[in-house]
């Protein structure tokens, strides 16, 4: 935990190369797609509706015991995650003082989405033997966010690691 505090507090503005505004906007758009997907699944859950499924077995996946945690649909966690990522990169674009922190938090947080997506993909493939197109969209968006954030981390370095 101490290492995480150090990562978040360290000032990095003198170590960053300029980051393309269009790359950050791309991250915002991808996070918005993930947010819309997770929001749709959350609404469908609370209205007891089964969304249309064009591939796989959405109904089986979305009604499995893995679709909720303590009665809360996991899609809500996706809503919170994507909204958090979206806001971090909006703050990066709009802020003067908190740019570095917003970038650092946004990029580091994509690891959570990738890990969650891998977990749910493995459940679909090897436990449920069924796939949900909405879950696959979420897995795709979280993977794109992680890969793009990793690209930003690697290419924005000047002399020292940005996030280490």
- Environment class of 96 (CB within 10 Å of its CB; exposed 0-12, middle 13-18, buried 19+): exposed
- Environment class of 71 (CB within 10 Å of its CB; exposed 0-12, middle 13-18, buried 19+): exposed
**How many residues are given for the chain?**
164
Domains within the chain, CATH numbers bracketed = 20-155 (1.20.1440.130)
pTM of the shown model: 0.86
The per-residue pLDDT for 13 is 46
| Contact of 31 with 145, CB cutoff 8 Å | yes
Tell me, what DSSP letter sits at residue 159? S
Residue pLDDT tens, the chain, 164 long: 565 555 555 544 445 677 899 999 999 999 999 999 999 999 999 999 989 999 879 999 999 999 999 999 999 999 999 999 999 999 999 998 889 899 999 999 999 999 999 999 999 999 999 999 999 999 999 999 999 999 999 988 765 554 54
| Contact of 85 with 141, CB cutoff 8 Å | no
Of 32, 134, 119, nearest to 75 by C-alpha is: 134
């Amino acid at each position: 935990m101490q290492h995480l505090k150090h990562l978040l507090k360290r000032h990095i503005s003198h170590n960053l190369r300029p980051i393309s505004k269009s790359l950050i906007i791309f991250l915002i758009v991808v996070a918005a797609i993930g947010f819309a997907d997770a929001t749709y699944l959350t609404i469908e859950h609370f209205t007891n509706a089964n969304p249309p499924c064009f591939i796989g077995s959405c109904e089986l996946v979305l009604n499995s015991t893995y679709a909720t945690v303590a009665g809360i649909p996991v899609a809500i966690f996706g809503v919170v995650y994507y909204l958090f990522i979206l806001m971090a990169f909006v703050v990066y674009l709009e802020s003067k003082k908190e740019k570095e922190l917003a970038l650092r938090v946004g990029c580091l947080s994509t690891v959570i989405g990738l890990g969650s997506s891998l977990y749910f993909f493995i459940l679909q493939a090897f436990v449920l033997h069924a796939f949900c197109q909405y879950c696959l969209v979420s897995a795709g968006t979280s993977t794109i966010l992680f890969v793009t954030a990793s690209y930003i981390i690697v290419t924005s370095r000047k002399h020292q690691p940005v996030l280490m």
